[in-house]
Amino acid sequence: MVPSMRRAIATSPAAVALVVGAVLAVAGGASAAPAPTAAELVIMPLPQRALGASYAQFAPDAASSGVLSNTAVASLGTFSAARLKGFGRQTGYKLVYQRGKESVDLAVELLKRPKGAAAYLARKRASARAFGFSVRAGGHRFDSVEVDFRDGRIVGSVGVTLKDAANAAARANVIAQALRTRIDGVLAGRIKGRPVPLGTPPAFGPPAGGPDLTGMCVAPDDLPKGAALAAEGYVDPHGTAASFRRAIDLSGVTTKGYTLAAIGCDMSLERSTDDATLGIAALRAYLPTATAFTAREVVRPVGVDVKLTPLPLDKVGDEAFATTILVRGPAGAGQIGFACVRVAKVVATLAFQARAGTLDRTAIRSLAGTLAARMRARL
């Protein structure tokens, strides 16, 4: 996965990492070697003019672009910090161009050795297959395609997320070829200059003239005594009108038989109902496969068994679906789940982490219903 793509579902891979990390462990390492300078790395991603006329209306996304540290990549949940260390990944730089729900994501990542870069490339390609999608909904088409390649110790990635584009894969390949050529030009000293200016990232907050998402999201008051707010705030909307995220810690709940350890709630206000319909269709298409990939990847080379079970959410919101994920490894098992709900222009994702054993499916349905009713009441 390009480290800035499909950011709206980061809750699910992060939850998987928490569950799997509790029952398994990984390690890795590599030795250092000479590298391109930081000044060279940041000018490798393509400037907008090099993308072509089709992307003239796309603008740099300052909040999503910049230095791509191992900490930043690990925070997405797809590759653990230990896995990145094992590959010998050192650093990277990303540049994201955005137009509404559409984006072009460019990344260059530096590894210590070509062998490590080749291993990392293989896993990124597997990730791209798990996270990619092509859906039709609301009279529109929505595609997300990624192309990854290696140039010595550098792994380059191009991801395109496009609306109503019949040739998304071909477009991604053309941009990838241009990125490879530019990387070679920078390494040879033929291309010099400064990185694409990003400006100051905007402050994130409630949408102007729109509903406040904080009142829609599941809150500690919806849960048994002992539930506590862990974190919350408006986050980078990535082409939506606004996005809000809340994390709730349930370790203080003492109710007998209670199965939930933590809940994450992500709310996004789309710019239109059509965009919201496309958004939840994309989640339905790739969230299960992406979550299963993450569950296996985060603990490699240790093997785990991942079982996904759909959970019906009849008559919840305008559209809704849910899945539970059971991860079994040598040291035990853990379970997470997610529920996605759309009401009009708002799309919400709930992520659940179990304390032990299996999740209470009734609790998942109940909280999804509570969320949908609150969304409808505030729109």
pLDDT digits (tens, 9 = 90+) for 303-356: 778 888 999 998 899 999 999 998 887 777 788 899 999 999 999 999 999 987
Number of domains in the chain: 2
pTM, two decimals, is 0.86
Range of the domain at 328: 213-377
Domain identity same for 153 and 52: yes
- pLDDT value of position 239: 85
Cis upstream peptide for 310 (omega within 30°): no
Question: Mean of the per-residue pLDDT values for the chain?
Answer: 88
Least Cα distance to 318 among 171, 137, 161 occurs for: 137
- Are 164 and 64 in the same domain? yes
CATH of the domain at 161: 3.40.1000.70
Q: Detail the DSSP E strand segments found in the chain.
A: 59-60, 66-67, 89-99, 102-111, 133-137, 140-151, 154-163, 228-235, 242-249, 260-269, 305-311, 319-329, 332-343, 346-354
Asked if residue 9 belongs to a domain, the reply is no
Residues 159 and 245 in one domain: no
Same domain, 183 and 300: no
Q: Is residue 19 part of a domain?
A: no
> Quick check: is 204 in a domain?
no
Is the confidence at residue 62, as pLDDT, over 70? yes
Please report the pLDDT score of residue 21 as a whole number.
38
Does residue 27 or residue 105 have the better pLDDT? 105
Same domain for 178 and 286? no
Q: Are residues 170 and 239 in the same domain?
A: no
**CATH number where 340 lies:** 3.40.1000
Cα–Cα distance, 28 to 15 (Å, whole number): 22
DSSP characters for 37-106? Answer: -HHHHTT-SPPGGGT-GGGTT-EE-TTT-EE--HHHHHHTSSS-HHHHHHHTEEEEEEEEEEETTEEEEE
Could you say which of 187, 221, 253 is where a domain stops? 187
Do 219 and 133 lie in one domain? The reply is: no
Do residues 133 and 257 share a domain? no
pLDDT tens string 180-193 = 999 999 999 999 99
Whether 160 is in a domain gets the answer yes
CA distance 171 to 12: 28
Tell whether 40 and 165 lie within a shared domain: yes
In a domain, residue 165? The reply is yes
Residues 357 and 251 in one domain: yes
pLDDT band at 20 (very low <50, low <70, confident <90, very high): very low
| CA dihedral (173, 179, 184, 190) positive or negative | positive
Cα–Cα distance, 171 to 103 (Å, whole number): 12
CA separation for the pair 106, 202 (Å, rounded): 21
